[in-house]
Amino acid sequence: MIFLGVDPGTATTGVGVVAFEIKTKSFKPLFYDVITTSKSLSAALRLREIFEAVNHFIQVFSPHQMVVEELFFNRNVKTALSVGEARGVVLLCAALIGVPVFEYTPLEVKQAVVGYGRASKQQVIYMVRQILGISEEITPDDAADALALCVCHGFRLLLGSSNV
């Protein structure tokens, strides 16, 4: 199975593509990067860029499932709204193409990848690199978060706790 992980944000959206073999319980990273949009663009144009990029990744990698970070409460309402808008665009893109979407909170991802729901970002990145066999640093963090979503989903499939 191929998973497309997306960590949505208006300025930076993390994207990771991972092949997962359930029989051998193995992961293979295929791609990771970020979609960045310019602050000089209107909100509508930034969202269009995110939509077009996610659509491109779906066309290139033909994922069987998309994994998206759930929006968690943020003290900064403006940030929460813009992340929500980016999430909406990502979810719409998946729905239009017919890719099933699975969502996990940051707490669930940390628990699945590190074994501790309050793990630091560096601990998550370290474990993602170990699990996926990536030797180089994964930057920026949003790309690592997208890969972590894929790993979390794979582990959930193994445990049978995902509604696949």
The C-alpha atoms of residue 130 and residue 22 are separated, in whole angstroms, by 18
Tell me: is residue 142 an annotated ligand-binding position. Answer: yes
Annotated catalytic residue, options 49, 85, 108, 142: 142
Tell me: is residue 145 an annotated ligand-binding position. Answer: no
Annotated catalytic residue, options 7, 49, 85, 145: 7
Annotated catalytic residue 7: yes
Nearest Cα residue to 16 out of 114, 123, 164, 154: 154
Counting Cα atoms < 13 Å in the Cβ hemisphere of 104 gives 30
Annotated catalytic residue, options 69, 85, 108, 145: 69
Nearest Cα residue to 102 out of 32, 17, 163, 16: 163
DSSP classification of residue 28: E
Tell me: is residue 108 an annotated ligand-binding position. Answer: no
Within a 10 A sphere around the Cβ of 132, how many other Cβ atoms?
Answer: 21
Structure-block tokens of residue 118: 């309050």
Structure-block tokens of residue 10: 């208006």
Annotated catalytic residue 142: yes
Annotated catalytic residue 33: no
Distance of CA 115 to the CA centre of its chain: 19
3-class secondary-structure state, position 26 = strand
The catalytic residues are 7, 69, 142
Residue ranges of the binding site: 7, 69, 142
Q: Which residues are annotated as a binding site for Mg(2+)?
A: 7, 69, 142
